[in-house]
């Protein structure tokens, strides 16, 4: 049976993530049009690492500090977590009748939300209140206002669309797909970390994945056997992690079509295991040969072991996805 609270949270997460994606796409387009760089999320990750490891909320000389492990990925995670938090706040205000689900109130919310970077994140990152320690404070504050206004518009439009078009069945489906995809991917990553700690089995290089995605988008190079030796790209780790989770959600869409829409099998753990094994087709016969590792990792030092580890990881992924879908159906 569906759980209403989970469904609502799933809808809000979806809107927050989509609004944040629109935010990021526009920021990249604006960068290309004006030459004004997009936000460096590595610095946000470095700051967050300092908060966690040292309890240092207000950073000084952040750019000169040593890199924090996985700071780019952490920065992007913080970015999207905050977007989801904004969406939860907006949903709560709509639920309380303070705001309405629409672009007008979305814009208002976005404009108000800019006080967070102006008076917290800018000084926390060492740039001062209202970016007064940067070379161009007015420009920095104006850009933040523009981006948060766009984010608010996108979020308001998302909630308005949800209110008008979303039927209960569609709401359950979207929530199940997003929650199950993300949950299964989190379990997969946790299992990968366990393999690393217990057996020293290396984790996938999401930097290489991100580099491959970047070259595919920028240069149309889908098959890129020399990608591992190519120069690192800015933000490739974050791109790799984002692509990793997008693919997980795409698998959840396929899972929903097969097991829910067309009822090809029962929601059993054995079927989840079988689904996970089937998903290894993608890395073994697409990603690996496209990135120069050969079909089934034939060009890696230990092809058989590589295949077995992939089957093990994806089996866990499939079982976790099955469990998540069982929460909804």
Q: Crossing angle of helices 71-95/4-34, nearest 10°?
A: 120
Confirm if 74 and 49 have CB atoms less than 8 A apart.
yes
Domain regions of the chain by residue span: 4-166, 169-326
Confirm if 325 and 299 have CB atoms less than 8 A apart.
no
- The enclosing H or E element of 104 equals helix 103-113
For residue 209, the SS3 value is: helix
Q: Would you state the structure tokens that stand for residue 96, as one six-digit string? A: 């309380």
Quote the DSSP letter at residue 121.
I
The Cα–Cα gap between 141 and 314 comes to: 45
The rounded Cα 164 to chain-centroid distance in angstroms is 27
Phi (first) and psi of residue 91, to 5 degrees: -60, -40
Residue 288 makes CB contacts below 8 A (sequence gap 6+) with: 294, 295, 296, 297, 300
The Cα–Cα gap between 121 and 264 comes to: 49
Buried b (16+ CB within 10 A) or exposed e, 115-154: eebbeebbbbbbbeebbeeeeebeebbebbbebbbbbbbb
For residue 297, the SS3 value is: helix
The Cα–Cα gap between 109 and 104 comes to: 9
The rounded Cα 207 to chain-centroid distance in angstroms is 15
Cα dihedral 242/243/246/247 (nearest 10): -150
Residue 62 makes CB contacts below 8 A (sequence gap 6+) with: 43, 46, 47, 50, 125, 126
Q: Is the dihedral of CA 69, 70, 76, 77 positive or negative?
A: negative
Q: What is the pLDDT along the chain (329 residues), one digit of tens a residue?
A: 333 344 467 778 888 999 999 998 898 888 878 888 888 888 898 898 877 777 777 877 777 788 888 888 888 899 999 999 999 999 999 888 899 888 999 999 999 999 999 999 999 888 899 999 999 999 999 999 999 999 999 999 988 877 766 666 777 888 899 899 999 999 999 999 999 888 888 888 888 888 888 888 777 778 888 888 888 887 788 888 989 999 999 999 999 999 998 988 999 999 999 999 999 999 999 888 888 888 888 888 888 888 999 999 999 999 999 999 999 99
Taking each continuous run of H as one helix and of E as one strand, the counts in the chain are 14, 0
Burial classification of residue 49, based on how many CB atoms lie within 10 Å of its CB (0-12 exposed, 13-18 middle, 19 or more buried): buried
Residue 159: predicted pLDDT? 87
CB atoms within 10 A of CB 83: 23
């Amino acid at each position: 049976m569906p759980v209403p609270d989970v469904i609502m949270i799933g809808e809000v997460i979806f809107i927050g993530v989509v609004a944040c994606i629109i935010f990021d796409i526009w920021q990249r387009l604006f960068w290309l049009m004006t030459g004004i760089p997009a936000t460096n999320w590595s610095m946000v990750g470095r700051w967050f690492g300092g908060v966690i490891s040292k309890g240092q909320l207000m950073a000084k000389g952040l750019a000169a500090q040593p890199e924090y492990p996985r700071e780019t990925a952490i920065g992007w995670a913080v970015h999207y977590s905050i977007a989801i938090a904004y969406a939860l706040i907006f949903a709560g205000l709509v639920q309380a009748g303070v705001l309405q689900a629409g672009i007008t109130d979305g814009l208002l919310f976005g404009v108000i939300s800019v006080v967070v970077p102006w008076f917290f994140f800018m000084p926390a990152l060492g740039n001062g209140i209202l970016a007064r320690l940067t070379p161009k404070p007015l420009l920095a504050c104006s850009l933040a206002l523009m981006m948060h206004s766009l984010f608010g518009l996108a979020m308001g439009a998302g909630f308005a669309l949800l209110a008008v078009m979303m039927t209960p069945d569609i709401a359950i489906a979207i929530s199940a797909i997003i929650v199950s995809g993300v949950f299964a991917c989190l379990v997969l990553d946790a299992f990968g970390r366990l393999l690393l700690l217990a057996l020293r089995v290396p984790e996938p290089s999401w930097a290489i994945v991100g580099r491959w995605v970047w070259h595919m988008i920028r240069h149309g190079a889908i098959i890129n056997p020399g990608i591992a030796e190519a120069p690192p790209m800015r933000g490739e780790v974050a791109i790799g992690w984002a692509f990793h989770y997008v693919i997980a959600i795409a698998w959840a869409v396929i899972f929903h079509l097969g097991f829910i829409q067309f009822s090809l099998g029962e929601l059993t753990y054995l079927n989840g295991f079988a689904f996970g094994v089937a998903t290894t087709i993608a890395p073994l016969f697409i990603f690996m040969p496209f990135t120069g590792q050969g079909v089934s990792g034939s060009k890696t030092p230990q092809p058989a072991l590589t295949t077995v580890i992939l089957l093990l990881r994806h089996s866990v992924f499939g079982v976790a996805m099955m469990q998540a879908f069982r929460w909804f159906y």
